[in-house]
Structure 1
Amino acid sequence: MTKKLTRRSFIKRLTFGTLGAVGLSYGGYYYAHELEPKWLKTIYKDVASTRLPSSFDGFKILQITDTHIGFQYNLEEFEKMVNQVNHHSADLIVFTGDLADDPSRISSQTLDKVSNLLSKIEAPYGKYWIYGNHDHGGFGTSIIYDYMERSGFKLLKNETVQIDKDGEYINLSGLDDVLLGRPDLKGLIDSSEVDQFNVLLCHEPDYADEAKQYSFDLQLSGHSHGGQIQLPLIGYIVTPDLGTNYVEGSYEIGERPLQLQVSRGLGTTRLPFRFLCRPEINLYTLVSKS
């Protein structure tokens, strides 16, 4: 027999339901604004290739991206990240863009501290970086360059360097930002380097659809923030231009194939929240495959 719902019971249920919804909403807000954005994790990924020289088997590349300092990400979190990066003892460090959210609004004192912290990062085979769209915005092109240079990071702006190890090498290329810079893929890898293991740093992941036409084996990107907010059955909530097709994780594109790795990054932009989308640094271990 179904129990009759009295007016008193109805009001009671409605009151508890309303209070519960408010509590969950507040709890969700607090978690997404205060807790998850600071809950840093490291993503470990093996990248295998037949073109990788044997001396690079086990070589570790650590990627940092999208700190967006000045929006929500602060110096305390930045210092924790630097300590975690050094803990991994990577061979090579790359920063794939968007150091500051708005370079025109961040103080020189803050950038001094950022630069000093970045200078503490150690990598025996070098530290390299590329521009993101926010680095070019707000008159940041020269500002960000100066502070990154002081920290010992070398800019790769439409250029390629060789990373040498035990008489063998891989190529590391960096592309200028696609949205606000002047990217040029054509001159990065010439015909004599087609059979080498070639790595591309490109801020915007969707540009992999262009990069796959060239002789790259691995592309490291950020920009998308992993959608920043992910909701069950709905998916990614915050995806920027050129960060909608490849939002996070690993993809294989084209015939070579190009292995695309997309990091969620560290900071936030547009909305000061992360939900089901923890911030991350990414450690890639290269594997020489016969």
Structure 2
Amino acid sequence: MLLFVHTLYVKTTLIHLTAAGLPPLTLVHLTDLHGRTRYLNGSLHRLVNRWEPDIVFCTGDLAQHRGQLPRVMQEIAKIRAQHGFCFVPGNYERQEARGWKKRAYTAEEYASCKEQWQAKMTVLENKEVFFDIGDARIRVYGFDNSTYGNERYEPDKEEKAKRTYWTVLLAHSPNIISFIREKGIQGDLLLTGHTHGGQIRVVRRTFGAYKHFHIGPKQDREVGVFSISRGLGTSRLPFRLNCFPEVTVYLLNQPQRPG
């Protein structure tokens, strides 16, 4: 029963940020669904839409395999974001897993999946998009999945010279921070996933491959706030322990609100 609740009860994490020059905004971060869209406390779109988000970000791993993708995209289509929905691919956008076996997608299979993403979201593969909200401008730059070394930084040179915007950086894996430091990339908020928060935590500690990464937001000299979400699904082991699935809500220039 404990594993069932810890795996399927989504917690909403509220993070309050102050951003000069921006109006009050609500940003929502999702990641690592791995095919799961329904939880004990509601379907994904209901958990998101109750916050009436201005922009929604998803940082990859929508499905374990292509068979799950249509259902996931049906749920994504029900999410209402006033200004936009941005997506960057993860490692499970280039491979699928059935049981313990993994297989890389062919170029044709990847293209077919990408068509489905693009029908519902703005797909950023080493690209940027701008949102003009009132008198403010938000820039969102999405890195292609760094797990496969596909990340590039190719900003618009004219826009870069202006630097009159607030920048959100998106990547699937937190390993992107090494690339960011190497290239001297600046931002205000970096959103990543991939680690699942360790998925299993004992005495508030993460065990396994990602134990050196933090969970949640952390102040950073290059990117302002470097945040790693616990994500929503599971991989390999089909359960979580002391590491609830998470929807992260960023409240910019807003008073304290209950979760």
Is the radius of gyration larger for structure 1 or structure 2?
1
Counterpart of 2:94 in structure 1 is 136
Distance 2:178 2:17 in 1: 19
Distance 2:212 2:239 in 1: 21
Deviation at 1:195, TM superposition (A): 5.1
Q: Deviations over 1:145-191 (max 9, x none)?
A: 122223x2110111111110113211111110001251102x13644
Does 2:192 correspond to 1:237?
Answer: no
Judging changes above 3 Å, is the alpha-carbon distance between structure 1 residues 62 and 287 closer, same or farther for their aligned structure 2 residues?
A: same
Greater fraction helix: 1
Greater fraction strand: 2
Among 108, 113, 117, the alignment partner of 2:75 is 117
Tell me if the contact between 1:68 and 1:268 (Cα under 8 Å) persists in the aligned partners.
yes
Counterpart of 1:172 in structure 2 is 140
Counterpart of 1:155 in structure 2 is 123
In the alignment, structure 1 segments of 5+ residues that lack a partner are 1-29
In the superposition, the TM-score normalised over structure 2's length comes to: 0.84
In the superposition, the TM-score normalised over structure 1's length comes to: 0.75
In angstroms, what is the RMSD of aligned CA positions?
A: 2.2
Among 191, 207, 211, the alignment partner of 1:220 is 191
Q: Superposed, which structure 2 residues align to 1:203-218 within 5 Å?
A: 203-212=172-181, 213-218=184-189
Counterpart of 2:253 in structure 1 is 287
In the alignment, structure 2 segments of 5+ residues that lack a partner are 96-103, 255-259
Does 2:20 correspond to 1:62?
Answer: no
Tell me if the contact between 2:146 and 2:175 (Cα under 8 Å) persists in the aligned partners.
no
Deviation >6 Å, runs of 4+: none
Does 2:61 correspond to 1:91?
Answer: no
Distance 1:215 1:189 in 2: 14
Indicate the percent of aligned positions where both proteins have the same amino acid.
Answer: 26
Q: Deviations over 1:8-35 (max 9, x none)?
A: xxxxxxxxxxxxxxxxxxxxxx422x22
Provide the secondary structure at the position in 2 that maps to 1:203: coil
Judging changes above 3 Å, is the alpha-carbon distance between structure 1 residues 144 and 244 closer, same or farther for their aligned structure 2 residues?
A: farther
Q: Superposed, which structure 2 residues align to 1:245-260 within 5 Å?
A: 245-254=212-221, 256=222, 258-260=224-226
Counterpart of 2:257 in structure 1 is none
Provide the secondary structure at the position in 1 that maps to 2:70: helix
